């Protein structure tokens, strides 16, 4: 049954159910507008614009030296942009320090995982929670419960009391991922998460990224040369070249673009031969 409208236009009193204000849409998890960064005379990032909606996965591809990792450093506050705007959930962050950006719910993983090698896996996760202003325990969940949940989801429960230096490279990537996710971030920036890991580790990462994105809880920006993995996970692609966005759009559309093929993939790339794009 349609909502009954009042007759305020006629000057009479309102009747029926109260009229509610329309819901204001949530701001993007990440909005980047014309961001640029120079190192000396080299323009490492050039007028980059992109948007990542809540729960969306954006894949970022491009040749080595195209500015992908520099972009992540700008988004996390490691570098300060020379120009342009970076907003996280509607808040400008382009002039904030890395610790402040992290406090707004931005997490990061590295190509070579950054873990505390002399601490146990459990202690690595504890460090993340104790330094997070958005940790799950603030919503009434225990610190131990958050840690146990992510140890289980990443298959690390049986490694919880092992020091990180005893783990394989792939297992360290899982520790870093679990540590990032235990903070319950709004946005996760991942640099080459699938490089050099066993298929079992890759499956865990795929499953957790897909589930978190589908829930709308977390958005992801993932830099990777593993194109089939990105196609499988991503809603949108951008290809960077020479510091700029060469092409943006649907993953298959981006991979089939002639400029992307010329600058990065090459006509013989398996993703094109196998029909994945």
Taking only the tens place, the pLDDT of each residue in 241-261 is 999 999 999 999 999 999 999
Taking only the tens place, the pLDDT of each residue in 93-143 is 999 999 999 999 999 999 999 999 999 999 999 988 775 555 444 444 566
Kindly tell me if the per-residue pLDDT of 16 is higher than 80. Answer: no
How many angstroms separate the Cα of 102 from the Cα of each of 5, 79, 105, 132, 184?
Answer: 46, 14, 5, 8, 11
> Quick check: helix, strand or coil at residue 37?
strand
Kindly state whether residue 224 falls inside one of the protein's structural domains: yes
Q: 230 lies in which domain range? A: 30-105+187-277
pLDDT band at 276 (very low <50, low <70, confident <90, very high): low
If asked whether residues 85 and 125 sit together in one domain, one would say no
If asked whether residues 127 and 197 sit together in one domain, one would say no
Q: CA-based angle 192:193:197, to the nearest 5?
A: 110
If asked whether residues 127 and 231 sit together in one domain, one would say no
pLDDT band at 18 (very low <50, low <70, confident <90, very high): low
Mean predicted confidence (pLDDT) in 161-169: 95
If asked whether residues 191 and 80 sit together in one domain, one would say yes
If asked whether residues 173 and 210 sit together in one domain, one would say no
CA–CA separation, 76 vs 177, rounded Å?
A: 16
Domain boundary among 136, 166, 184: 184
Provide the whole-model pTM: 0.86
Residue with tokens 């002639």: 258
Kindly state whether residue 14 falls inside one of the protein's structural domains: no
If asked whether residues 151 and 201 sit together in one domain, one would say no
Kindly state whether residue 83 falls inside one of the protein's structural domains: yes
If asked whether residues 66 and 150 sit together in one domain, one would say no
Whole-number percent of the chain with pLDDT over 90: 77
If asked whether residues 223 and 268 sit together in one domain, one would say yes
Check which CATH number belongs to the domain holding 266 and give it: 3.40.50.300
Please report the pLDDT score of residue 210 as a whole number. 95
Please report the pLDDT score of residue 271 as a whole number. 85
Q: Which residue has the higher pLDDT, 226 or 134?
A: 226
Kindly state whether residue 172 falls inside one of the protein's structural domains: yes
Kindly state whether residue 21 falls inside one of the protein's structural domains: no
Please report the pLDDT score of residue 146 as a whole number. 82
Domain boundary among 158, 184, 210: 184
Kindly tell me if the per-residue pLDDT of 172 is higher than 50. Answer: yes
Please report the pLDDT score of residue 4 as a whole number. 42
- Domains in the chain, number: 2
If asked whether residues 43 and 80 sit together in one domain, one would say yes
Measure CA 169 to chain center: 21
If asked whether residues 206 and 258 sit together in one domain, one would say yes
Kindly state whether residue 199 falls inside one of the protein's structural domains: yes
Domain boundary among 128, 151, 184: 184
pLDDT band at 270 (very low <50, low <70, confident <90, very high): confident
If asked whether residues 276 and 242 sit together in one domain, one would say yes
């Amino acid at each position: 049954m349609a909502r009954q409208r009042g007759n305020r236009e006629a000057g009479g009193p309102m009747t029926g159910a109260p009229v509610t204000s329309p819901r204001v849409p949530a701001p993007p998890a990440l909005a980047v507008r014309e961001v640029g960064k120079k190192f000396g005379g080299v323009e490492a990032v050039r007028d980059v614009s992109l948007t990542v909606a809540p729960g969306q996965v954006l894949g970022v591809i491009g040749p080595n030296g195209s500015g992908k990792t520099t972009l992540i450093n700008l988004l996390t506050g490691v570098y300060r942009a020379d120009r342009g705007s970076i907003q996280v959930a509607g808040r400008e962050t382009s002039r904030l320090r890395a610790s402040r950006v992290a406090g707004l719910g931005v997490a990061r993983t590295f190509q070579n995982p950054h873990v505390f090698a002399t601490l146990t896996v459990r202690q690595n996760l504890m460090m993340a929670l104790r330094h997070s202003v958005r940790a799950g325990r603030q919503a009434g969940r225990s610190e131990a419960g958050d840690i146990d949940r992510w140890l289980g989801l990443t298959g690390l429960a049986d490694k919880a009391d092992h020091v990180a230096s005893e783990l394989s490279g792939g297992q360290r990537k899982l520790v870093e991922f679990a540590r990032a996710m235990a903070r319950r971030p709004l946005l996760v920036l991942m640099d080459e998460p699938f490089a050099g890991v066993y298929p079992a580790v890759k499956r865990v990462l795929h499953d957790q990224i897909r589930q978190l994105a589908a829930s709308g809880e977390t958005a992801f920006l993932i830099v990777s040369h593993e194109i089939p993995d990105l196609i499988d996970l991503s809603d949108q692609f951008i290809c960077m070249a020479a510091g700029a966005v060469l092409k943006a759009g649907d993953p298959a559309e981006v991979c089939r673009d002639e400029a992307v093929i010329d600058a990065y993939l090459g006509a013989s790339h398996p993703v094109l031969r196998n029909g994945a794009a």
